[in-house]
Amino acid sequence: MLLKDLDGSVGLRPVRYQFATVRGDSYDDNWLVVEGRVTTPGGSWSFADPCLLTHEARRVSAWLRAVAAGTVAVTEADADGVLSPDTWFVEPVVAFSLADRSAGGAAVIRVHLSLEAAPPWQRGDDGADVYQFAVEIRTDAAALRHAADQWDLALVPFPPR
């Protein structure tokens, strides 16, 4: 799926299971390696990391559709300026939140990128900044539904095992 506006883009796609063979462990058998390509005014980078379980991956398109339908609330930073995504996963590598919604149906979504998905110039070992780097994308309901459809199609080869 590709989320983009005039200032940047985030492309995400599942590329394979972390382990090719089934091991009999519900976690190990279902980790998906997600490839990402990110462009911002500050720079571009890519990553590939086993960061979503198969059942978590299906929540991404559901969240995009909920934003398109107007049922997701805007998430503000707390009093200390700390961002918390409203859709997050076991591995805190990729997460999502809604930054703003306008009356015309446009939305600004945040794609939070931490740890292995963070920009190379912000990667650290301590994880203290988890979820604090986010790419904001201004988009509309049709583009969100299209991204959700793209994501669902990309997940077809990766059923839960």
In three-state secondary structure terms, 88 is coil
Per-residue confidence (pLDDT) for residue 154, from 0 to 100: 98
Enumerate helices (H) and strands (E) in the chain, giving the number of each.
2, 7
pLDDT tens string 101-131: 987 778 999 999 999 999 998 876 555 688 8
Give the chain's largest Cα–Cα span: 49
Measured distance CA(77)–CA(26) in Å, rounded: 34
DSSP, residue by residue, 5-37: -SS-EEEEEEEEESSSS--S-TTGGGEEEEEEE
Residue 94 has pLDDT above 60, yes or no: yes
By CB atoms closer than 10 A (0-12, 13-18, 19+), residue 86 is middle
pLDDT, one tens digit per residue, over 24-78 is: 998 899 999 999 999 999 999 999 999 999 999 999 999 999 999 999 999 999 9
122-155 pLDDT, tens per residue?
A: 876 555 688 899 999 999 999 999 999 999 999 9
- Altogether, the residues listed in the chain come to a count of 161
| Domains parsed from the chain with CATH numbers | 2-155 (3.30.2450)
pLDDT of residue 128: 61
Strand order in the sheet with 2-4: 2-4, 9-17, 31-40, 43-53
